Structure 1
Amino acid sequence: MLQLVYLSAAIKIMPDEELHSLLAQSRSNNERSGITGILLYHDGNFIQVLEGEEVQVMNLYYRIEQDSRHRGIIKLFSSHISQRDFPDWSMGYKSLSAREYNEALGYLDLANTSSLSAKETNNEREAFTLLKIFAETNIPGYR
C-alpha cells in the first residue's frame, strides 16, 4: 500500500459549490479505486493525502498532475505503508478557518503519536507532520 502527499495551488479561488462538486466526484472515483485520504484547502492552496494500492494511487496522482484547475503541484512525500491513516475516509475534505483547523488537526491529534495506531517505521507519521506544517504556514492564528 502507498501513501502520497502533495501540495498544489488552485488557478483561482474556488467557491464552495465548485469544491463540493470536485469532492463528490473524487469520493465516487476514489471509492471505486480503493483510495482513501484527506484534502485540506485554504485560500487557494491544497494539501492532499492519498492512500491505497500503489498502481491506483499513482494513476490518480498522474491525473491530478494533468488537471487544469490547479498548478504548482509538488509531491512532498511518498512511501509504502502497512496501515492507512484515513481508512474510513473515501476523501475527507474541509475548507477551514484558523479555529476550525485547530479543531480538525486537534481531532487528528498530530502532536500525540500514542493516539495513532502502531507504526512499523517512523516515516509513516510524515503525512500528519505535513498536514500540521500546511496549517501552520497557511492559516493565520493556527496554534
Structure 2
Amino acid sequence: MSVLRQHLFSDRFGRVVAVARNANDERGVTGLLLYREGCFYQVLEGNEFSVKKTFSEIEQDTRHHSVRVLFKGETESREFAEWQMGFLNLDGIDMETLRGFSDFLTRDAEPQEFLENLSRGKRLALMFRTLD
C-alpha cells in the first residue's frame, strides 16, 4: 500500500501499469494493483527474490510515500496467475454494485486504519481477482 505525493491523472495510469506489466513479466511476478483516492493497494505474487526486488523498486519510487506491506506469506497457488499486473481504478465506481462489497470502502479511512485492519485489506484484494 502507498500514498501518492501528487495527483496522478487517469491517462498516466496506463503508462504505470504497462511498465509494471513488462517488469513483472520478465521476473515471473503476477498480481493486482488497485487505486482509490490517491492510494495504491497492490498484491505481488512470485518467488521470494523476484517479489522482494519488485517491492524494493516500489519503495524507491519517489512518486509515492508511506509504502507498507499489509500482509505477506506463502500460498499453494497464485490468486492472480493470469495477470502480470491487473489494474482497477476504484475512483468513480459505485462500490455497492460490486460483488463482495464491504462498507469499509465507503468510510473515510486513513491509510493507518487500513493497515490496522489486515483481514479487511486481504478481502479487498481478493474480491477483485475475478474482475477484468
**Aligned alpha-carbon RMSD (Å):** 2.4
Following superposition, the deviation at residue 81 of structure 1 comes to 1.3
Runs of 4+ in 1 over 6 A off after TM superposition: none
Structure 1, residues 86-131: CA drift from partner, whole Å, max 9, x if none?
110110001123425742xx2xx589xxxxxxxxxxxxxxx88415
Q: 1:24 to 1:94 in 2, by over 3 A?
A: same
Q: 1:101 to 1:39 in 2, by over 3 A?
A: farther
CA distance in 1, matches of 2:94, 2:119: 18
What 5-or-longer segments of structure 1 have no aligned partner? 1-6, 112-126, 135-143
CA distance in 2, matches of 1:52, 1:101: 32
Contact 1:35 1:56 in 2 (8 A): yes
TM-score by length of 2: 0.73
Q: Answer yes or no: is 1:49 the counterpart of 2:43.
A: yes
CA distance in 2, matches of 1:131, 1:67: 24
Question: Percent same amino acid at aligned positions?
Answer: 30
Give the equivalent residue in structure 2 for 1:117. Answer: none
- Listed as ranges, the matches of 1:76-91 within 5 Å are 76-91=70-85
Following superposition, the deviation at residue 46 of structure 1 comes to 0.8
CA distance in 2, matches of 1:101, 1:66: 35
SS at match of 2:34: strand
The count of aligned residue pairs is 109
What 5-or-longer segments of structure 2 have no aligned partner? 103-117, 126-132
